[in-house]
């Protein structure tokens, strides 16, 4: 998180949330390096631990027990978390390319992005098979598959392609859970399972004793094992083997050898014959020393080994140490993969086998042993101390006792002396593309002392300003949220955004870091402003302790159609267009006590524009409107009620609340404004609710880029709500009704 910290001079980007990278983050959390910023990029906020995947499928574990929360881990470590998908590297420019968002720069980068399904050479596999990797995508498809298996009362057939440990574990776990769930649902027709193997026996890489154990188990469980039957092609519901045989299947799972993503080779990295990144014993790319790689995406050309999660786990500490050493200019360590390792394979139920050195044992006790190992590993990353607080304490202690340690260059100016340099500003703005608006006479492309904008005839100008400090570590997403938030007042008044001025404060980092963060932030903001039809015409930048961003937005409206807070009428229906809870979730995130998926959902809510919602509300004859932001739902509703001289009845069960928000409020996690907002309780008839009830506290939770609250004539309410949902506002709800003025307590809760 941005805040009081040392000047950032070096950037290490970790692309991918694999087993090696989570250990790197934990290492830097326990022993941070001043001046170094660590950034993790992952397409998902949670990364699965592959060793527990079969147990998750079988129902022995919950989602949270089998996943590492990357957002919380990064927050605890003081690292940035960027949710994105890597599509390539610009090696000369030291940039990592991402899908749907600007590239990020790096000084050093490590790649632990995993493998892809090895199905490209089998016709139909990409269309008709469900690959187990990447695991996050597989789990989404597995839930859908599970639902189909439970809704189909007839015979249901599942085929698994790949008879290694992964294929066997997934098959037996699926069989275990689906048989029990179908029986509980009263479905008596059996499930049929097929296992397709290109070799002569299952578990080809395992010792003979292990193969014997699982050959027996598969036979006892009634699994049809097809050895020496490589799959030649797939069609919808059909498998064809190289032998010319064909088998029907309702679902096909693909658990074969891993494949390499295409982008490492396309980017110019040295790769092996299979397309995996070729690395040496220091885990560096053979072609680019500032690029490291680990896990399945890497090929240890110095000591080739089959793909196995155990190597990624063992690579983690060496990778962390070498990233430290390369920043410091020291000699790097060599990674030596172990010649033997323990293999643990589960059988769906709480039974497992262990093998090492050609000796295998099995039993329920082996499963309990594996469970203990797995849970201990996960606890390292999901049970986190309050690391940023510790670091801040020691930083303050150092400053108190060793003030001379503060370098002169960190004695930064205030006032206009704190502006961002002209060179840095020009470089950053050259990377964004603000809207070219015909009414802008002078702006960013024709700079002057101020912007000059033509106001069309017959219109009025609506002006507003909003600014706040960064509450997430992704400057691109922060820019989008800040722009969305600032536009809310314009939309609430039925105005059309026209122009915007930015106010930016950035920490005093190295110029290249400032340029990168400013460009990311402004690119996100400009994308939102451009989509709104608002031209960014100028702004002001300054150095400061924390990253902040704000916008002064000018809108144009027809005076006859302007919406105000004061137009509510008795009998109007109150409609709220978004869910509540961003304030407490962001507060929980700062304390690394929010689940990553809940933070992502809050960000998605903040990113949703109010533009279309405002149009729908106007179409359905809204009498008054406001945007729900810092004062919370209760505070903003009270403003409307006082201005309109009416009261309101709120149906508490109708409120949509973001996942995790009630949990955070129950834990006593409140945003800074919660206490002040809660003073509005004196104007509320709370009915059965009492002070401290989480369901009541949500009314006072300050929202960032919240939804619109509007009064709609009762005859228009149903059609308005339907139109909002069709427009994508799935959380829009009728939350109450406007009533006759009832005096000081003008809100009643039911």
What is the domain-level CATH number for residue 448?
Answer: 3.30.1330.10
Distance CA 69, CA 71 (A): 6
pLDDT of residue 43: 95
Residues 586 and 642 in one domain: yes
pLDDT of residue 407: 39
- The residue range of the domain holding 196 is 125-258
Catalytic site positions: 416
- Out of 427-431, 501-505, 706-710, 729-733, least confident range: 427-431
Q: How many residues are there in the chain?
A: 750
Reply yes or no on whether the pLDDT at 390 is more than 60.
Answer: no
For 565-592, what is the mean pLDDT? 94
Reply yes or no on whether the pLDDT at 4 is more than 50.
Answer: no
Reply yes or no on whether the pLDDT at 420 is more than 90.
Answer: no
For 352-373, what is the mean pLDDT? 95
Final residue of a structural domain among 239, 258, 277: 258
String of DSSP letters for 519-554 = HHHHHHHHHHHHHHT-EEEEEEEEE-SS-EEEEEEE
Q: pTM of the entire structure?
A: 0.88
Reply yes or no on whether the pLDDT at 717 is more than 50.
Answer: yes
Distance CA 140, CA 148 (A): 13
Residues 238 and 264 in one domain: no
* pLDDT 10s digits, 191-225: 999 999 999 999 988 889 999 999 999 999 999 99
Residues 281 and 245 in one domain: no
For 142-158, what is the mean pLDDT? 93
pLDDT of residue 443: 62
CATH of the domain at 196: 3.50.50.60
Is residue 407 in a domain? no
Residues 253 and 274 in one domain: no
For 162-189, what is the mean pLDDT? 95
Distance CA 750, CA 743 (A): 18
Most confident of 115-124, 393-402, 641-650: 641-650
CA geometry: angle 459, 463, 464, nearest 5 deg: 155
Parallel/antiparallel/unpaired status of strands 251-254 and 130-131: parallel
- Mean pLDDT, the chain, whole residue set: 89
Is residue 467 in a domain? yes
Distance CA 705, CA 481 (A): 7
Residue 657 DSSP label: B
Question: Which three-class secondary structure state does DSSP give residue 175?
Answer: helix
Instruction: Give residue 392's pLDDT band: very low, low, confident or very high (50, 70, 90).
Output: very low
Residues 110 and 229 in one domain: no
pLDDT of residue 403: 42
pLDDT of residue 5: 61
Distance CA 546, CA 441 (A): 33
Final residue of a structural domain among 307, 336, 365: 336
Contacts by residues 236-241 (CB-CB < 8 Å, ≥ 24 positions apart):
236/127, 236/128, 237/128, 239/159, 239/161, 239/194, 239/196, 241/196
Q: How many other β-carbons are positioned within 10 Å of the β-carbon of residue 68?
A: 24
Residues 279 and 250 in one domain: no
Residues 90 and 17 in one domain: yes
Q: Cβ(53)–Cβ(348) under 8 Å? A: no
Reply yes or no on whether the pLDDT at 353 is more than 80.
Answer: yes
Q: Cβ(554)–Cβ(537) under 8 Å? A: no
Reply yes or no on whether the pLDDT at 309 is more than 80.
Answer: no
Q: Cβ(68)–Cβ(26) under 8 Å? A: no
Distance CA 648, CA 269 (A): 64
Residues 6+ apart with CB under 8 A from 296: 18, 114, 115, 258, 276, 307, 312
Instruction: Give residue 444's pLDDT band: very low, low, confident or very high (50, 70, 90).
Output: low
Final residue of a structural domain among 534, 560, 586: 560
Placement of tokens 């004196």 in the chain = 682
Phi (first) and psi of residue 317, to 5 degrees:
-60, -40
pLDDT of residue 591: 86
Is residue 380 in a domain? no
What HEC string does 624-645 produce? EEEECCCCHHHHHHHHHHHHHC
pLDDT of residue 385: 61
For 3-12, what is the mean pLDDT? 78
For 174-184, what is the mean pLDDT? 96
Residue 333 DSSP label: P
Reply yes or no on whether the pLDDT at 245 is more than 90.
Answer: yes
Share of the chain above pLDDT 70, in %: 91
For 241-245, what is the mean pLDDT? 94
Placement of tokens 């805040």 in the chain = 3
Residues 445 and 521 in one domain: yes
270-307 burial code (b ≥16 CB/10 A, e <16):
bbbeebbbbbbbbbbbbebeebbbbbbbbbbbeeeeeb
What's the Rg (C-alpha) of the chain? 29
Q: How many other β-carbons are positioned within 10 Å of the β-carbon of residue 725?
A: 15
Distance CA 674, CA 582 (A): 12
Reply yes or no on whether the pLDDT at 396 is more than 50.
Answer: no
Distances (CA, A) of 8 to 20, 34, 256, 330, 498: 24, 8, 43, 20, 36
Reply yes or no on whether the pLDDT at 672 is more than 90.
Answer: no
Residues 129 and 238 in one domain: yes
For 720-727, what is the mean pLDDT? 97
Is residue 384 in a domain? no
* pLDDT 10s digits, 524-546: 999 999 999 999 999 999 988 88
Residues 576 and 720 in one domain: yes
Instruction: Give residue 423's pLDDT band: very low, low, confident or very high (50, 70, 90).
Output: low
Is residue 362 in a domain? no
Dihedral sign of CA atoms 449, 432, 463, 453 in order: positive
Is residue 584 in a domain? yes
* pLDDT 10s digits, 105-138: 999 999 999 887 766 689 999 899 999 988 888 9
Residues 697 and 579 in one domain: yes
For 730-735, what is the mean pLDDT? 97
Is residue 639 in a domain? yes
Distance CA 698, CA 684 (A): 14
Residues 6+ apart with CB under 8 A from 293: 110, 111, 112, 277, 279, 283, 285
Reply yes or no on whether the pLDDT at 402 is more than 60.
Answer: no
Residue 265 DSSP label: H
Is residue 459 in a domain? yes
Residues 652 and 514 in one domain: no
How many separate domains does the chain show? 4
Mark residue 117 as left, alpha or beta (left: phi above 0; alpha: psi -120 to 50; beta: remaining): beta
Residue 408 DSSP label: G
Distances (CA, A) of 672 to 136, 631, 740: 35, 11, 33
Instruction: Give residue 558's pLDDT band: very low, low, confident or very high (50, 70, 90).
Output: confident
Q: How far does CA 323 lie from the centroid of its chain?
A: 25
């Amino acid at each position: 998180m941005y805040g009081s910290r040392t000047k950032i001079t070096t950037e290490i980007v970790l692309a991918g949330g694999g087993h090696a990278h989570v250990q790197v983050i934990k290492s830097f959390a326990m022993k941070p390096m001043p001046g170094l910023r660590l950034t993790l990029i992952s397409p998902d906020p949670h990364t699965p631990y592959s060793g527990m995947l079969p147990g998750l499928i079988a129902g022995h574990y919950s989602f949270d027990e089998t996943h590492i929360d990357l957002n919380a881990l990064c927050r605890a470590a003081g690292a940035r978390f960027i949710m994105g998908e890597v599509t390539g590297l610009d090696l000369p420019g030291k940039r990592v390319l991402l899908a749907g968002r600007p590239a990020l720069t790096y000084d050093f980068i490590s790649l632990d992005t995993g493998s892809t399904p090895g199905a490209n050479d089998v016709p139909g596999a990409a269309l008709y098979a469900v690959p187990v990797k990447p695991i996050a995508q597989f789990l989404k498809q597995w839930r859908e598959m599970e639902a189909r298996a439970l809704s189909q009362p007839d015979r249901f057939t599942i085929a698994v392609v790949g008879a290694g440990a992964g294929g066997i574990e997934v098959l037996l776990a699926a069989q275990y859970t689906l048989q029990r769930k179908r029986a509980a649902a009263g479905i008596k027709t059996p499930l049929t399972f097929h296992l397709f193997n290109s070799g002569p026996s299952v578990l080809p890489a395992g010792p003979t004793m292990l193969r014997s154990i699982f050959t027996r188990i598969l036979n006892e469980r009634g699994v049809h094992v097809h050895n020496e039957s490589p799959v030649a092609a797939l069609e919808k519901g059909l498998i064809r083997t190289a032998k010319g045989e064909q088998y029907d299947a309702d679902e096909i799972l693909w658990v074969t050898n891993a494949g390499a993503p295409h982008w490492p080779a396309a980017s110019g990295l040295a790769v092996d014959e299979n397309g995996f990144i070729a690395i040496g014993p220091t885990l560096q790319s053979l072609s680019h020393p500032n690029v490291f790689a680990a896990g399945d995406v890497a090929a240890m050309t110095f000591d080739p080994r089959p793909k196995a999660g155990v190597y990624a786990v063992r690579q983690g500490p060496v990778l962390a140490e070498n990233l430290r050493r390369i920043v410091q200019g020291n000699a790097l360590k060599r990674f030596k993969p172990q010649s033997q390792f323990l293999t643990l394979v589960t059988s769906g139920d709480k039974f497992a086998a262990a093998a090492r050195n050609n000796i295998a044992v099995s039993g329920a006790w082996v499963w309990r042993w594996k469970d203990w190992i797995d849970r201990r590993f996960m606890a390292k990353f999901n049970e986190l101390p309050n690391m940023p607080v510790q670091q801040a304490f020691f930083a303050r202690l150092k400053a108190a006792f060793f003030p001379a340690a503060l370098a002169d260059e960190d004695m930064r100016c205030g006032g206009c002396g704190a502006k961002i340099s002209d060179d840095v500003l020009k470089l950053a703005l050259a990377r964004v593309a603000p809207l070219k608006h015909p009414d802008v006479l002078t702006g960013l492309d024709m700079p002057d002392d101020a912007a000059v904008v033509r106001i069309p005839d017959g219109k009025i100008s609506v002006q507003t300003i909003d600014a706040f400090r960064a509450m997430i570590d992704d400057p691109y997403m922060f820019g989008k949220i800040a722009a969305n938030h600032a536009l809310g007042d314009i939309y609430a008044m039925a105005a059309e955004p026209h122009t915007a001025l930015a106010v930016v404060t950035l920490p005093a980092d190295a110029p290249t870091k400032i340029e990168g963060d400013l460009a990311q932030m402004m690119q996100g903001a400009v994308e939102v402003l451009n989509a709104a039809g608002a031209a960014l015409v100028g702004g002001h930048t300054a150095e400061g302790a924390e990253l902040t961003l704000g916008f002064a937005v000018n809108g144009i409206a027809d005076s006859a159609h302007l919406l105000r807070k004061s137009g509510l009428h008795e009998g109007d229906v109150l409609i709220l267009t978004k869910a509540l809870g961003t304030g407490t979730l962001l507060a929980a995130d700062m304390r690394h006590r929010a689940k990553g998926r809940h933070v992502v959902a809050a960000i998605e809510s903040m990113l949703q524009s109010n533009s279309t919602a405002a149009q729908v509300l106007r179409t359905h004859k809204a009498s008054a409107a406001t945007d729900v932001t810092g004062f919370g739902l209760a505070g903003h509703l009270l403003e409307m009620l006082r201005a309109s001289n009416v009261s309101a009845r709120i149906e508490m069960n109708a409120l949509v609340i973001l996942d995790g928000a009630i949990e955070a409020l129950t834990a006593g996690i409140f945003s800074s404004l919660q206490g002040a907002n809660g003073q509005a309780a004196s104007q509320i008839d709370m009915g059965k609710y009492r002070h401290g009830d989480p369901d009541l506290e949500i009314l006072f939770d300050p929202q960032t880029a919240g939804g619109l609250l509007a009064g709609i004539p009762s005859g228009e309410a149903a059609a308005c709500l339907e139109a909002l949902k069709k427009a994508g506002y799935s959380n829009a709800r009728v939350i109450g009704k406007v009533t006759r003025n009832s005096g000081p307590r003008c809100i009643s809760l039911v």
